[in-house]
């Protein structure tokens, strides 16, 4: 698919008109709408949303060259995280590293970067392996052979994050986050793509629900922090220890700053990996030969007692499955920016005030860069395969603002698949590789993704 000669607007529609119909379509299914527009209109598409005087111009971008322009190099300064979705995210989920900009982002990154170096993540790998093995054993103990993959993987990844990054292991945290996060995510996205946004102080039903969810999420984080302080434990190497010990000049981080960072990594650290694992197990449950190869690799890698980091490094086939799953089902299918100075995208002038939406969901399906893009084929990511365009695969974003926890996520996902499949066969109960999905901050299936587990000693 090639870019259009000029940004095009979908044809005007009767009654509601082109300014309103896209908003309604986005609310019905954001992923489906953006993919449909891309397939019909091309890699650079311009829309105008809302009534005159309150409207905003949005460009939908579906090409790796556009991603490179927006996310990297000197041009990245023209595109910042101040668009409506990020504004709503900051209000509802705190002002952590996800939404910070400029010097504040640099300051926050300085505090958290050491926790996510390869050396640091390798140090957490044994804890990851312990929690993964425990959650898998708990599932076996239930005696149930049919499992909801989404719920199971969310429980697993939350346990890993809470233990590895915050040194806690409360099951109560898992239940409360799973209950409250979807409510807040719905509030963020529905308000972020809305035409007329009332201030969040106006108690609409959605705002009231969002406040309750936010209060519970903040409460979870504050309790984790309070428990650590009450324990008197100091000098740890996990994220929470570093945040509590962090100094900025003569002052430490405020309680609100620590809470906001804990919340960012609590949510981002589990939701995205759980999504990838859910779809990976589903796809493996439909591709028996790939599953058998992963099982054989896992049995070999786990046969000898050794550090989990060494196990993860010895699972290239399993990692290829994770990366191909992230291509087909990127946990963050869209990322947006606000244009703050005149620039160009793929040769088209773009002015300040425009919101640009990059769509990894579309980029990962671009036939210019992927042969048979809708086919599950982990061999695309086998060792030795020539590199593609730098931004043809971007499940973790790109440029300086790429996900800081991507190595953590990949190690966790690879270890999880190895532990699950080592002694189990997974059979998906869905009859298609292509699960219907939508997005509220992160991708999610719109139908239950269930599978049958069978022990294979």
- The pair phi, psi for residue 79, each rounded to 5°, is -125, 110
**Residue 32 has which token pair?**
């489906």
At residue 13, the pLDDT reads: 26
Among 217, 449, 202, 181, smallest CA distance to 325 is for 449
In a domain, 16, yes or no: no
Q: At what angle do helices 406-422 and 149-166 cross, to 10 degrees?
A: 130
- Beta strand spans in 213-360 (E): 247-248, 251-252, 335-339, 343-345, 348-350, 355-358
CATH number at residue 437: 1.10.630.10
In a domain, 426, yes or no: yes
Give the annotated binding-site residues: 403
Dist. CA 359–CA 339, nearest whole Å? 16
- pTM, to two decimals: 0.91
In a domain, 14, yes or no: no
In a domain, 291, yes or no: yes
Instruction: Enter the DSSP assignment of 367.
Output: T
For residue range 294-349, list pLDDT tens digits in order.
999 999 999 999 999 999 999 999 999 999 999 999 999 999 999 999 999 999 99
Among 164, 123, 75, smallest CA distance to 398 is for 75
In a domain, 15, yes or no: no
At residue 338, the pLDDT reads: 95
Dist. CA 44–CA 350, nearest whole Å? 11
In a domain, 293, yes or no: yes
At residue 14, the pLDDT reads: 24
In a domain, 350, yes or no: yes
Q: Which domain holds residue 438?
A: 21-455
> How many other C-beta atoms can be found within 10 angstroms of the C-beta atom of residue 231?
10
Dist. CA 298–CA 317, nearest whole Å? 9
For residue range 249-288, list pLDDT tens digits in order.
556 678 888 899 999 998 888 899 999 999 999 999 999 9
Give the annotated binding-site residues for heme: 403
At residue 8, the pLDDT reads: 61
**Residue 76 has which token pair?**
């990245």
At residue 16, the pLDDT reads: 30
Distances (CA, A) of 405 to 51, 109, 183, 426: 40, 11, 24, 28
Task: Please count the structural domains in the chain.
Answer: 1
Dist. CA 160–CA 124, nearest whole Å? 10
Which residues of the chain are modeled with pLDDT < 50?
A: 2-5, 10-17
In a domain, 7, yes or no: no
């Amino acid at each position: 698919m090639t870019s259009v000669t000029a940004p095009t607007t979908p044809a005007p529609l009767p009654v509601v008109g082109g300014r309103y119909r896209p908003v309604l379509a986005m609310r019905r299914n954001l992923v489906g709408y953006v993919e449909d527009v891309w397939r019909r209109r091309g890699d650079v598409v311009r829309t105008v949303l809302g009534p005159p005087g309150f409207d905003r111009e949005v460009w939908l971008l579906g090409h790796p060259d556009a991603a490179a322009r927006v996310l990297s190099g000197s041009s990245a300064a023209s595109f910042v995280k101040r668009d409506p979705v990020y504004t709503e995210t900051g209000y509802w989920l705190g002002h952590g590293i996800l939404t910070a900009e400029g010097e504040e982002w640099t300051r926050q990154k300085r505090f958290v970067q050491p926790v996510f170096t390869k050396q640091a993540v390798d140090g957490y790998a044994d804890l990851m392996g312990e929690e993964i093995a425990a959650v898998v054993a708990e599932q076996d103990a239930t005696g149930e052979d049919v499992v909801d993959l989404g719920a199971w993987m969310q429980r697993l990844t939350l346990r890993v994050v809470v233990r590895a990054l915050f040194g806690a292991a409360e099951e109560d945290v898992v239940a409360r986050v799973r209950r409250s996060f979807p409510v807040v995510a719905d509030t963020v996205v529905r308000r972020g793509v809305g035409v007329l946004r009332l201030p969040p102080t106006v108690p609409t039903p959605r705002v009231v629900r969002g406040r309750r969810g936010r209060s519970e999420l903040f409460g979870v984080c504050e309790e984790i922090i309070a428990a650590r302080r009450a324990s008197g434990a100091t000098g740890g190497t996990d994220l929470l220890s570093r945040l509590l010990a962090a100094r900025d000049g003569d002052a430490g981080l405020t309680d609100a700053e620590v809470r906001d960072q804990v919340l960012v990594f609590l949510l981002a650290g589990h939701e995205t990996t759980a999504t990838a694992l859910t779809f990976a197990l589903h796809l493996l449950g439909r591709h028996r030969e790939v599953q058998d190869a992963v099982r054989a690799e896992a049995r070999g890698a786990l046969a000898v007692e050794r550090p989990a980091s060494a196990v993860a490094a010895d699972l290239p086939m399993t990692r290829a499955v994770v990366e191909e799953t992230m291509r087909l089902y990127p946990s963050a299918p869209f990322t947006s920016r606000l244009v703050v100075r005149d620039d160009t995208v793929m040769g088209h002038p773009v002015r300040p005030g425009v919101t640009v939406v990059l769509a990894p969901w579309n980029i990962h399906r671009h036939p210019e860069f992927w042969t048979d893009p809708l086919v599950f084929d982990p061999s695309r990511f086998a060792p030795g395969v020539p590199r593609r365009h730098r931004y043809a695969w971007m499940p973790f974003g790109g440029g300086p603002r790429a996900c800081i926890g991507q190595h953590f996520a990949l190690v966790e996902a690879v270890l999880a698949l190895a532990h699950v499949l080592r002694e189990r066969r997974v059979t998906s109960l869905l009859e298609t590789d292509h699960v219907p999905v939508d997005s509220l901050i992160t991708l999610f299936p719109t139908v239950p993704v269930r599978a049958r587990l069978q022990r294979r000693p």
